[in-house]
Amino acid sequence: MRMISSLLKAYPFPALFLLVCMHARAQQEWAIRQLTQEPYNHELDHNQNFSPDDQWIAYDTRPDPSGIALNQRIEKVNVGSGQIQCLYQVPEATPYGPGMGAVSYHPRENKVVFIHGLPGADSLRPYAGHRRLGKIVDESGSYWMDSRDVTEPFTPGALRGGTHRHHWSGDGNWVGFTYNDAIMVDLENRSGRVHDLRTLGVAKRLGPPVRVDPGEPGENIQGTWFSVVLVEVVPDPEPGSEAISRAYSDWWVGASGYLKQDGARQRAMAFLGDLRGGDGKKLTEVFVVDIPESIEEPGEKGPLEGTPEKMPAPPKGVQVRRLTYTEGRKYPGVASSPRHWVSSSMDGAYVSYLAKDDAGVVQIFVVPTIGGDAVQVTRHHSSVQSMVRWHPTRREFVYVCEDGLFLGKLDSAGNPGVPTKISPSYGTAPFSPVYSRDGNRIAFNRYLDGYIQVFLADRP
């Protein structure tokens, strides 16, 4: 009663009523249950884990977060019964591979895509960033998504290294990925100069697949989709320029791109890019790359397939734009910790990322995809602990802070609402939250008794 009396003295009744309502809203917990129980890991890994009908959740079973080389299985678990089914398995796994992980469900069809190391991996040719591709599993079986050609002459539509972190577009006809080039790795080893630079690319389901020469067994791979690199990267960007040395942590913009000022829809991916500020120091900013519907014609930067001395080049019509300019902030750049991916509201209007506020606390920011000022949308006293995952149909998002799950919202004008805490604070932070396709359920990972398990939170 004393607390209520003091509040009544401090605030007029309308303001007090608003504060009480905000507090109640900020503590609305969802119904949470543990879905997996078995004593091994069930890693969601920030992917599109729900099946199109929301009945299954896919994950990998790597023995530790960096242990993709040792992983043998891709599994799925039924959200109702907890029944587990194996989607794909290799007979054995060694510290050298082949390796697999980071599985994502197609948005409309009963199929998944995931990282798969090259067959025949051993101590001389182990699983590595430039030695992996996308594998698709559906009702017909399993097949390689992208083609790999590391012998001259190289092949347009095939890449020469490792694709990873595969991510379906909203219509399921494209897959985005990050990329490391094996030819550039070899060149770096021979020359002693930096050539192995991470970038990002995209694969599209076209007509008949490009044909790749057999080459050395296990090195050239015949895939089914047409793949290209999207972003040119350079080893030593000029300070103060827009040149990028590393493109990564990419995400599709919207379910169907973003709305341009002329009213047209544009397919695009957002990503983090490392460049050098005017002082010569590394600076990480948010970028967007516009993707043409046709990716088969080479652009002005070189051949799609690359050369022995140069990376594959982007196709004609690709345009890269910088979205954030943080050099003048007290803490410039995008936050490097926690590791996170940019993400996008499903209408494509905003791109979210993490950065430090003036107090040095990591917060969520959003920036308009068409360009404009970034807006800070959280004001926590402790740092946000995960990337942002957006609701599939509205401007709501989930994230981790204070070792629990929070929901945030943007209104129609892009103004942030009051965050809502929807779970308890756990002893260790949950991770990899992901919305179901209908938006009424969130899956996430937690460590329990030493193993990564899948949990479900149901909307009240």
Q: How far apart are CA 124 and CA 28, in angstroms?
A: 54
Q: What are the tens digits of pLDDT across the range 427-447?
A: 999 999 999 999 999 999 999
* C-alpha dist (Å) from residue 421 to 275, 302, 432: 36, 50, 16
Mean pLDDT of 86-107: 94
Residue 380 near residue 402, CB atoms below 8 Å = yes
With a cut of 70, say whether residue 21 has pLDDT above it: no
Q: What are the tens digits of pLDDT across the range 184-219?
A: 999 999 999 999 999 999 999 988 899 999 888 889
Q: What is residue 20's predicted lDDT score, i.e. its pLDDT?
A: 39
Mean pLDDT of 87-116: 95
With a cut of 80, say whether residue 24 has pLDDT above it: no
Q: What is residue 66's predicted lDDT score, i.e. its pLDDT?
A: 81
Q: Sheet holding 226-229: strands in order across?
A: 161-168, 174-181, 199-204, 226-229
Mean pLDDT of 387-413: 97
Neighbours of 37 (CB within 10 A): 13
DSSP result, 118-157: PTT--SSS---TTSEEEEEEETTEEEESS-B--SSSP-TT
Rg (CA), the chain: 23
Mean pLDDT of the chain: 93
Strand ranges for 21-121 from DSSP E: 31-34, 56-60, 73-78, 84-89, 100-105, 112-117
Residue 406 near residue 381, CB atoms below 8 Å = no
Q: What is residue 14's predicted lDDT score, i.e. its pLDDT?
A: 45
Per the structure block, which two tokens stand in for 107? 């948005």
Neighbours of 12 (CB within 10 A): 9
Distance between alpha carbon 366 and the CA centroid of its chain, in Å?
Answer: 16
Q: What is residue 328's predicted lDDT score, i.e. its pLDDT?
A: 93
Mean pLDDT of 174-180: 98
* C-alpha dist (Å) from residue 55 to 52, 141, 351, 382: 8, 21, 29, 35
Q: How far apart are CA 177 and CA 249, in angstroms?
A: 9
Say what percent of the chain tops pLDDT 90: 89
Mean pLDDT of 223-250: 97
Q: How far apart are CA 176 and CA 241, in angstroms?
A: 26
Q: What are the tens digits of pLDDT across the range 25-76?
A: 456 789 999 999 999 999 999 999 999 999 999 999 999 888 899 999 999 9
With a cut of 70, say whether residue 17 has pLDDT above it: no
Q: What is residue 19's predicted lDDT score, i.e. its pLDDT?
A: 40
Q: What is residue 421's predicted lDDT score, i.e. its pLDDT?
A: 97
Q: What is residue 27's predicted lDDT score, i.e. its pLDDT?
A: 65
Q: What are the tens digits of pLDDT across the range 128-166?
A: 999 999 999 998 999 999 999 999 999 999 999 999 999
Q: What is residue 26's predicted lDDT score, i.e. its pLDDT?
A: 57
With a cut of 90, say whether residue 423 has pLDDT above it: yes
With a cut of 60, say whether residue 15 has pLDDT above it: no
Phi, psi of 153 (to 5 degrees): -75, 140
Q: What is residue 298's predicted lDDT score, i.e. its pLDDT?
A: 97
Q: What is residue 2's predicted lDDT score, i.e. its pLDDT?
A: 40
Q: What is residue 207's predicted lDDT score, i.e. its pLDDT?
A: 84
With a cut of 50, say whether residue 5 has pLDDT above it: no
Q: What is residue 18's predicted lDDT score, i.e. its pLDDT?
A: 41
Residue 338: closest CA among 388, 277, 290, 288: 388
* C-alpha dist (Å) from residue 23 to 2, 16, 17: 18, 11, 10
With a cut of 50, say whether residue 353 has pLDDT above it: yes
With a cut of 70, say whether residue 313 has pLDDT above it: yes
With a cut of 70, say whether residue 9 has pLDDT above it: no
